[in-house]
Amino acid sequence: MINGRKWYTTGGRDASFLLVMARTSDDPLSGATLFVVNRHAPGVTYLRDIPVMAEPLLAHREGELSFDGVRVGPQDVLGGEGWGFALAQQRLVPARLTHCMRWLGLADRALQLSREHLNRRVSFGKRLGEHQLVQLKLAEGAMAVHAGDLMTLRCAWMLEQGLDHQEVKVWSSMAKTQVAQALCKVLDDAIQTHGGLGYSDDVPFARWYRYARAARIADGPDEVHLITIARALLKGRLQLLT
């Protein structure tokens, strides 16, 4: 029987079924089990859409659900009892890369839109794109996006080679953190270099930024991924150069 409350269940309102990670023992490594639960099973209640910083860019909302005496049996277990953490990691590694691809596309689009504006708008006697402080932002943004693109590509290549998700995990942490930070930086800079226009919703950057800010928190905050990367380095498990 599952009892509990879960907030931030992305897309939970419209889903037909839910993947529920529940504690089945106190073992720190094998104490979690994944269950497939019918979204409309007795005891599953969709409490609300959580109001968040951004209006939804995609169709789904962030949901809060409660589970009150939801009956599950062996047929509902995904994998096996105690496999929860391992299966979650297996899913999260490639899932992070799909986030990265969407976020890279958004960052690239923001840079392209900025390029048009900065080549046109004149301030203090020259086009904005000719001011070195503006160029610094553009160059840093371009490098951050390119680095994120290469990290994403390398991580995807590792998966393609059939490497175990445990070996690839740290590389997906690196790509996810790099791309999330790059996206937030590019959008923040786009708002800044567009001035008052950037802060308005006449251009998409403010709306995109509100959406993008979640990237540094969802699927593990920056800090937790940085810990993963640092630990791998300390253990001599990071072969950085190809």
Ligand X SMILES: Cc1cc2nc3c(=O)[nH]c(=O)nc-3n(C[C@H](O)[C@H](O)[C@H](O)COP(=O)(O)OP(=O)(O)OC[C@H]3O[C@@H](n4cnc5c(N)ncnc54)[C@H](O)[C@@H]3O)c2cc1C
Q: Binding to ligand X by residue 142, rule CB under 6 A? A: no
Binding marks (x or -) toward ligand X, 10..29, rule CB under 6 A?
x-------------------
Q: Which is nearer to ligand X, 62 or 149 (CB)?
A: 62
- What is the smallest separation between the CB atom of 82 and ligand X, expressed in angstroms? 19
Distance (Å, whole) CA 242 – CA 238: 11
Q: Which is nearer to ligand X, 36 or 217 (CB)?
A: 217
Exactly one of 155, 175, 214, 232 binds ligand X (CB under 6 A); that residue is: 214
- What is the smallest separation between the CB atom of 34 and ligand X, expressed in angstroms? 12
Exactly one of 62, 76, 149, 189 binds ligand X (CB under 6 A); that residue is: 62
In this structure, how many other beta carbons lie within 10 angstroms of the beta carbon of residue 48?
A: 12
Distance (Å, whole) CA 29 – CA 82: 8
Report yes or no: 119 and 129 within 8 Å, Cβ to Cβ. Answer: yes
- What is the smallest separation between the CB atom of 32 and ligand X, expressed in angstroms? 12
In this structure, how many other beta carbons lie within 10 angstroms of the beta carbon of residue 4?
A: 13
Q: Binding to ligand X by residue 217, rule CB under 6 A? A: yes
* Non-local CB neighbours of 127 within 8 Å, separated by 6+ positions: 118, 119, 120, 121
Q: Which is nearer to ligand X, 186 or 215 (CB)?
A: 215
Q: Which stretch binds ligand X (CB under 6 A): 8-16, 97-105, 112-120, 133-141?
A: 8-16
* Non-local CB neighbours of 64 within 8 Å, separated by 6+ positions: 5, 6, 7, 8, 9, 46, 47, 48, 50
Q: Which is nearer to ligand X, 10 or 30 (CB)?
A: 10
Strands (E), 92-227: 122-123, 126-127
Structure tokens at 40: 């409309």
Exactly one of 76, 149, 189, 219 binds ligand X (CB under 6 A); that residue is: 219
Name the site residues for ligand X (rule: CB under 6 A): 8-10, 62, 214, 217-221, 223-224, 227
